[in-house]
Amino acid sequence: QVQLVESGGGVVQPGRSLRLSCAASGFTFRNYVMHWVRQAPGKGLEWVALTSYNGNDRYYADSVRGRFTISRDNSKNTLYLQMDSLRVEDTAVYFCARCGTYGSGRYSDLGWFDPWGQGTLVTVPS
């Protein structure tokens, strides 16, 4: 079955770095756009970044652009999120999610997240 498993979360001091990983299985990883979405404690969902199927195109939320880098290794079926210059407000559960379809070429489909991983918690203490 399709599965996404995040890892790499933890407690990190402000200004430091952390890299998250998302191991994918059960589908042809190299075909799909992949996303990171986060949820701060008690708050709503916030999209973070996406990468195209081959990693050539990447988009970021304004809140993380210039500090976070999304990447993928299709040979390892793994998605990454390199988080630098971490801030207290980056504290959240980080989910990786697969785009619900592939090959459509429609930007409209980029809001389609299915499935999601279980998430990994990143804590940046004040």
According to DSSP, residue 121 is labeled E
Q: Does 117 bind other proteins (CB under 8 A)?
A: yes
Q: Residue from 18, 22, 32, 35 that binds other proteins (CB under 8 A)?
A: 35
Least distance in Å: CB of 97 to other proteins? 8
In DSSP terms, which residues pair with 81 in a beta bridge? 20, 70
Stretch of 11-19, 54-62, 67-75, 82-90 contacting other proteins, by CB under 8 A: 54-62
- Separation of alpha carbons 15 and 124, rounded Å: 9
Q: Is 36 exposed, middle or buried (0-12, 13-18, 19+ CB in 10 A)?
A: buried
The pair phi, psi for residue 51, each rounded to 5°, is -130, 140
Q: Does 109 bind other proteins (CB under 8 A)?
A: yes
- Separation of alpha carbons 75 and 115, rounded Å: 21
Least distance in Å: CB of 15 to other proteins? 25
Q: Are 93 and 38 in contact (CB under 8 A)?
A: yes
Least distance in Å: CB of 47 to other proteins? 4
Q: Does 36 bind other proteins (CB under 8 A)?
A: no
Q: Are 100 and 114 in contact (CB under 8 A)?
A: yes
Q: Residue from 22, 24, 34, 50 that binds other proteins (CB under 8 A)?
A: 50
Q: Does 9 bind other proteins (CB under 8 A)?
A: no
- Per CB under 8 A, residues contacting other proteins are 35, 37, 39, 44-47, 50, 59-62, 95, 100, 107-119
